Amino acid sequence: MHENRTTYPKRKTEMYQQLLELPKKYKTISVIQMRKVRSTQILPLRKTLKGEVEFVCVKDRVAKKALETLDIPGMKEISGELKGQLMFLFTNMSPFKLNVLLGKNKVMMGARSGDIASIDIVVPAKNTGIAPGPMLTEFKDAKIPTKIDQGTIWIAKDTTPAKKGEAINEKL
């Protein structure tokens, strides 16, 4: 892995060896960046695709070293783009079928402060069912127009507090 070092942690050596051997067995390789992905989301996917897809989680530096060593077209270019925790999927199914399977198992997560919105976040005009009080300030801070009617807070009109690609405000 690194020419100046003599020993490596056993786990990293195993990851490295695994990344060198698995591409020889499978014809399709998929790389996933694991940013903001929880293990509870991956577990059902692993169970569903067991036997068809092999999942390997690795660190970016180990992946870069292994991909630069492999003689697979396009892998050296990809290795420069790898950052953070990664998951490799190895399979013999077509990449299109794999993409469809992953798309079917996609899970929407609740947004947190500072996340980048993957879609436009739209708050529809409707009755919230919340009694007037401190929540009015919360809506005002999030720039959502409200009115009070029948003893509850109503959202006055459809509002988009965060557009796709924008950072999500902590008040939202």
Which pLDDT does position 37 carry in this prediction?
79
Mean pLDDT of 123-138: 89
Average pLDDT, stretch 70-97? 83
Asked whether residue 135 carries a pLDDT value surpassing 90, the answer given is no
Residue 8's pLDDT band, with cuts at 50, 70 and 90, is confident
Helices (H), 49-111: 60-69, 75-79, 95-104
Decide which of 80 and 163 is more confident.
Answer: 163
Domain parsing of the chain, residue ranges: 10-104, 111-172
pLDDT score for 158: 92
- Report the distance separating Cα 7 and Cα 81, nearest Å: 27
In this predicted model, what pLDDT tens digit does every residue of 104-124 receive, in sequence order?
877 777 777 888 888 888 989
* CATH superfamily assigned to domain 111-172: Ribosomal protein L10, N-terminal fragment, domain II (3.90.105.20)
pLDDT for position 35: 78
Return d(Cα 79, Cα 57) in angstroms, integer: 15
Q: Which CATH number fits domain 10-104: 3.40.109.10, 3.40.50.300, 3.40.50.12280, 3.30.70.1730?
A: 3.30.70.1730
Given this model, what pLDDT does residue 45 score? 86
* CB within 8 Å of 21: residues ≥ 6 apart: none
**pLDDT recorded at residue 55:** 92
24-76 pLDDT tens trace: 899 888 888 887 777 888 888 888 888 899 998 888 888 888 888 887 777 77
The mean pLDDT of the chain is: 85
**Residue 116 gets which letter from DSSP?**
B
Angle between helices 60-69 and 10-25 (to 10 degrees): 50
What is this structure's pTM? Answer: 0.67
- What is the rounded CA–CA span in Å between residue 13 and residue 161? 47
Q: Are 76 and 27 in contact (CB under 8 A)?
A: no
